[in-house]
Every structure is written in structure tokens, then in C-alpha cells.
Amino acid sequence: MADEREIRVGIIGAGGIAGAHAERYKRVPGARVVAVADVLPGRAQGFIDRYGLEGARAYGDYREMLRDDLEAVSICTFNAAHYEPTMAALEAGKHVLLEKPMAVRLSQGLDMVRAARRANRMLSIGFQSRYDPNVQQARRVVHSGGLGKVYYAETGGGRRKGIPGGTFVRKETAVGGAVLDIGCYSLDTALWIMGDPRPLAVSATTSDYFGKSPVYARQAWGGTMRPEDFDVEDFGVAFIRLEADAVLVFKISWAMHFDSLGHTFFLGTEGGLDLDQLRLYHDTYGLGAATDLPRRDSNWGDQFLRKIQAFVEAVRDGGPAPIPGERILHATAILDALYRSAAERAEVKVELPPV
């Protein structure tokens, strides 16, 4: 019989994604959301009522919540408010499940990882895409040497018309736009499949032609959003030099006059892999051949549930973190360099101090 010791969880930030956390915690045996904090008056209590979190206490200040009797927290604040609650939670001795992206400034990512080590607590990052069995299968192929040395990859994605609103389009809350909202998943997936290579340099560009367009704003938001309030990027591209002479090209967009920015794929000396099609290109008996890998059904909801389950299990078992913060530092360094490069309009070096 499995040990189902109760795991008492708090949620910081009671907005959109926090609801997905609350619903999944309710489905994990032994996990219980006992506290919710949000800076907006009444929001934490409204959230508790909406999700039927019986007995949970509402807080306006997460620092006060961290003094409550709980051992883990989900941090679901917008990107600009990831750092302080994470540091405070770790310093208060709580295990942390932090929503993506971990950080945009590398210095903040390093601080968080060091704080987790000092406190001997887990810092896990919310990339549920790692629980997609198709991504896991692709990773196994690459890790078992099926492609030989991977020297080039492309990743990213895009929407023809899909600029979100709310806190996502303002630098003050989101820090960045499409790159952080949807791009960071592709970046994480590609790096994870490639074995988390060290980044050396980044040359990037970003733009905001659609978010700033009155025509697009009128169409996309029914006139409720003003283009002058939009101050993040809706498009980003980066050429990322990695260790061992490998290159990753990253492309993402919230809006464009096109359907797709192309597939995620990997080129190796012994084979190639198209992640979207799950097609493996190889050269058997000197014949250029391709094999379709078996595709397994998977959806966002299942992956999200697995992310919450894995975190609760890790808290119960005393670790390790399912998606450790320190394994997200290369991606964080790339994001940091991407924005610097775009601002400087030049390639920038990635400096990665030891943790």
C-alpha cells in the first residue's frame, strides 16, 4: 500500500493557471491545497470558493502564507513576480513548483537554484511538455545515440493569429511576449532532447509589428485592447551556438502572415528526427530510409496532471525535483542572451558561472 502521507500545499497567484494546479492537486491522493495567496483583494478567497478548496485559508500577502503549516507551494504568479515569491518560499523551507519560464535574467535563475541548495528544498519548473510520451520517445532515440552526433536543430512554433491579452502583453507583468509565453516550451523540449548542451552565444531579433498594429488590435481583441499598451515582442528568432559545434535555431511568433514557422527537427551524423511527424531518417544498408515512430495519445491535461503528481510524489519521497531548476539554467541563459542580443542587434556571448 502506497504511503499517502498528506502533502499540504499553498498556491501563490490565483489567476488563470493556478486553477489548473488546484484542480490537479484535488485529483492526487493525499495532496491538499490548504492556502492561497493573491495580491488582488478578494481574489484568493474567490479562488478557494470557485475550486471548492475546503478549509483553505486566503491571504493577501504570500509572506504571511509562508508562515502557515504547509510544506510545498505552487508559484503561479505572472513572470515578473516569479523571483521574489520563489526566493521567499525556499528561504521559508518550502518545496517549490514554479511555473514556466523559470526566469529571464540568468542572475535570478542562479539565485533561485542556489537558494534551493542552501535550503535543501526542491525547485521544480512547470514544463509539463516533458511528460508528453512522444517527446520522451524522441529523447530516448537521441540519448541512445540513434542520430549520432546532433550538430543542428530547429525548434519553435507559431500562431497565425494568437496574441493573448491581459498580463501577457505588458512588460511590467510578463517581462517578455511570445518567446516567454509559448517559445520557452519549444526551447526546453529541444534542449532536453539534445541532452542540455551548454550555450555559448546567441544572435537574436524580436519584433512587435502585430501587437502594435491598430488594425490587428481591432480584429483580435474587439477593440478592447489598445496597441499602445502592448510593449512585449510578438515574434522572436535566435541563432544559438552550443558546445561541441552544434547550433539550435529557435523561432516563435504569436502572429504572422503564415501558418507555421516549421517543424522541430534534429540533424545528426547518423540520422535525423522530425519531432512533429515523429519520423526518424536513417541510412540502413546504404539506403536513405525513414521510419515512423509509434505515436501515443497525449494531451495538455494529462501532462499537467502528471506534472502535479510527480511534484507531490517527489515531496513525499524527499526528492529529487522532477524538473530541477538547475537543469533549466541553460535555457534561462539563452533567454537572457536572446533579449540582450535583440536589444544590441548583435551576437552576444553567454557567460555561465558555476552554480
Query: In whole angstroms, how close is the CB of 283 to ligand NAD at the nearest point?
Result: 38
Which CB sits closer to ligand NAD, 68 or 274?
Answer: 68
Helices (H), 254-346: 300-317, 329-344
Residue 304 neighbours by CB under 8 Å, 6+ apart: 20, 24, 128
* Choices 32-40, 50-58, 224-232, 277-285 (CB under 6 A): range interacting with ligand NAD: 32-40
Q: Is 16 in the site for ligand NAD (CB under 6 A)?
A: yes
Report the alpha-carbon distance of residue 47 to residue 40 in Å, rounded. Answer: 11
Q: How far is CA 34 from the centre of its chain?
A: 25
Considering only 11, 58, 77, 329, the residue that binds ligand NAD (CB under 6 A) is 77
SS3 category, 298: coil
12 binds ligand NAD (CB under 6 A): yes
Q: Which residue in the set 24, 72, 79, 97 belongs to the binding site for ligand NAD (CB under 6 A)?
A: 79
Under rule CB under 6 A, residue 211 binds ligand NAD: no
Give me 57's grid cell: 485559508
3 state SS of 21? helix
13 binds ligand NAD per the rule CB under 6 A: yes
Contact stretch for ligand NAD (CB under 6 A) within 70-78, 199-207, 316-324, 335-343? 70-78
* Residue nearest to ligand NAD as judged by C-beta position: 15
Please state the closest distance from residue 303 (CB atom) to ligand NAD, in A: 9
Q: Does 81 bind ligand NAD (CB under 6 A)?
A: yes
* Angstrom distance (rounded) from CA 68 to CA 137: 41
For residues 168 and 180, what is the distance between their CA atoms, to the nearest angstrom? 9
- Name residue 199's amino acid: P
Please give the residues from 114 up to 133 whose contact with ligand NAD meets the rule CB under 6 A.
126, 128
CB distance 181 to 302 below 8 Å: no
Q: Return the biggest CA–CA distance within the chain.
A: 68
Angstrom distance (rounded) from CA 265 to CA 8:
41
Q: Which stretch binds ligand NAD (CB under 6 A): 34-42, 117-125, 130-138, 246-254?
A: 34-42
Q: Could you say whether residue 99 binds ligand NAD (CB under 6 A)? A: yes
3-state secondary structure of 319: coil
Q: In this complex, which beta carbon is closest to ligand NAD, that of residue 13 or of residue 268? A: 13
Which positions touch ligand NAD (CB under 6 A)?
12-18, 37-40, 43, 62, 76-79, 81, 85, 99-100, 126, 128, 166-167
